[in-house]
Amino acid sequence: MSEASYPAPVVILNAPQLAENIGAAARVMANFGLTELRLVNPRDGWPQERAWASASGADWPLNAARVFDSVAAAIADLQLVYATTARPRELTLPVLTPRQAAGELHAAAEQGQRTGLLFGGERAGLETQDIALAQAVVTIPIDPRFRSLNLAQAVAINAYEWRATAADRPPPNFREAAPPATGEALLGLYEHLERELETAGFFHPPEKTPNMIQNLRAALGKARFTDQEVRTFRGVITALSRGRGKVLEKIAGKKGGEGDTSS
């Protein structure tokens, strides 16, 4: 099988608990040509010697592993991120098999995009607010009689599909296309919109605010905005907020005029 000339997806492990699972994940990453590992809040800190022992010589993903304090920070420079989890009931993101995801990740990488696969911790998987930062969900077709899957096994299945799909890829399309925005740019758009919606009183009742934010982020994430589109939408939000301010100023001015009885 020929090697791909573009980077493989970054593997992001969110809140991994056991050093042995981190090491086993690094081992299967090395098996299938994935080299970049990112850890979000590993329970026992980092580095952990037991991870290297479990990697059985696949040291390079562990040696270069980077640690982050949030999923948002870990994916900030990535343009396409798929969250590997069971089908989320709260969100309407596309749901893919590992094979479908591998094809899309290859297509994105061929266009120069930085991609990532996000995995949840052993105890609870991924939280909805983290899944909402991804552009799609990858669900492994597991027998419903036994749904428990080890973290390293989940990494292995997705890494294998990435590797196997490379053999079936057609020649890349060299037509220039604007790359999608990074996770950092998207988060800036989300937070900008959410601030203005909060000011406008959109989030009501207050207890539903987290779910409303997650659904908004999931809906916008599916659009796969380019950097230019992000800038355009932020400009739109700014223009609307300024327009609202001018309207309020006019209303305040009229009320002030009505109350002026001076001759």
Neighbours of 121 (CB within 10 A): 20
Q: Compute the distance between CA of residue 233 and CA of residue 220 in angstroms, rounded to an integer.
A: 11
Identity of residue 24: A
Predicted confidence (pLDDT) per residue in 2-60, tens digit = 456 789 999 999 999 999 999 999 999 999 999 999 999 999 999 999 999 999 999 99
Bridge partners of residue 67, in order along the sequence: 39
Q: What is the reported pLDDT for 169?
A: 58
Q: What is the reported pLDDT for 64?
A: 96
- 176 confidence band (pLDDT: 50, 70, 90): low
Residue corresponding to tokens 């791909």 = 4
Predicted confidence (pLDDT) per residue in 121-141, tens digit = 887 789 999 999 999 999 999
Residue corresponding to tokens 């590993």 = 42
Q: How far is CA 108 from CA 37, 51, 130, in A?
A: 19, 31, 21
> Which alpha helices (H) appear in 146-226, and where do they start and end?
151-166, 183-199, 209-221
Task: Look up the CATH number of domain 10-166.
Answer: 3.40.1280.10
Domain ranges of the chain: 10-166, 183-258
